[in-house]
Amino acid sequence: MFLIVPGSLVLGFLFSGALSPFVSWVPYLFAFVTLTMAIGCSLEALRVVLLRPLPIVWSLSIAHIVLPLIGFAMGTVLFGADSPYTIGFVLFALIPLGVSSVIWVSLSGGSIALMLALVVVDSAISPLVVPAGIQLFFGTGVEVEIGKMMGDLLIIVVLPTLVGVVLNQLTRGRINETVRPVAAPLSKLCFVAVVALNASAIEPYVMQLKGDLLVLAPAVIALVGICYAAGFFSSLPFRDHELLVTLSYASGMRNISLGIVLALGYFSPPAAVPVVLGIMIQQPIATLHFYVLQKFNKRRTGIPRQGQVR
């Protein structure tokens, strides 16, 4: 992921002319990525973690209440409350948690079941959270077709998620093992295509923002770092290594490809620039965060390796 995501962006920028006619394919490619993720999540795994809802409620509250407020404050101070960059900062925090966080949670010894549950639950409520958040922060100052946005989120996120979970349940998980050899690499190719196509769509606008990038890029780096830090420090009271790993990655990583789809579909192209920069930044910071977690766990022997949420 450290190489694939920035590489996809570079491809999108370099071949924007050839790729831009295919931008309309993005929602369908994204829906397939979501479906592939959901096929690996069973109702039983969801039931186990939902019986302990506090970590889920806690994580989503940090991700979609605290962090949008921080993003709005940063954008307002640096660019003004009505700036499209400020919209991009808030949108970055409002979009659902990233599917790729499951990979990092697995590598770091977190709870895969909890992370999958967070992604599924957050995806399911995204048609409510994202439009409501935009309306709350920007009101009538930003003209957004709320009903259409909710409908699009239902089609490209919620519906594939429900279909995947139901298929897993009907086949008792066998479908995941059957289709994974083909679906997993195809899903990664679709993910690459989503990033590259959206990068090609905003390439003309990014080239015009060279001066703003001197302020915008450090601000986005700071915001992404704050997202990881918020998840990390807010999970310390649980005193559980699995929760610490899972909630910090959940807070730090967003479904950026969906963010670009929404930014380009409902806002001016500059609003997508912070989201695109977030793509380039959140994976490298995920790598740094991995080492931070390893060092922290060695020093804090009071946090057990195995938690109660699995």
pLDDT over 60 at 142, yes or no:
no
Asked if the structure places residue 251 within a domain, the reply is yes
pLDDT over 70 at 145, yes or no:
no
Instruction: Give buried/exposed letters for 96-127 (b at 16+ CB in 10 A, else e).
Output: bbbbbbbbbbeebbbbbbbbbbbbbbbbbbbb
Domain that holds residue 238: 4-297
* Structure-block tokens of residue 108: 């770091």
pLDDT tens digits, one per residue of 14-38: 888 888 788 778 778 878 877 887 7
**Quick one: pLDDT at residue 66?**
94
pLDDT band at 146 (very low <50, low <70, confident <90, very high): low
Asked if the structure places residue 257 within a domain, the reply is yes
pLDDT band at 220 (very low <50, low <70, confident <90, very high): very high
CA atoms within 13 A on the CB side of 52: 13
Mean pLDDT of the chain: 80
pLDDT band at 309 (very low <50, low <70, confident <90, very high): very low
CATH of the domain at 272: 1.20.1530.20
> What contacts 191, CB < 8 A, 6 or more positions away?
4, 8, 29, 33, 257
* 112-138 helix and 159-170 helix, angle to the nearest 10 degrees: 160
For residues 142 and 267, the answer to whether their CB atoms sit within 8 Å is: yes
Domain count across the chain? 1
pLDDT over 50 at 269, yes or no:
yes
Asked if the structure places residue 161 within a domain, the reply is yes
Asked if the structure places residue 305 within a domain, the reply is no
Asked if the structure places residue 309 within a domain, the reply is no
pLDDT over 60 at 306, yes or no:
no
pLDDT tens digits, one per residue of 86-110: 988 998 888 888 776 777 787 787 8
Asked if the structure places residue 304 within a domain, the reply is no
CA distances from 56 to 72, 104, 245, 302 (A): 23, 18, 13, 23
Asked if the structure places residue 308 within a domain, the reply is no
**Quick one: pLDDT at residue 181?**
85
| Number of CB atoms found within 10 A of residue 32's CB | 20
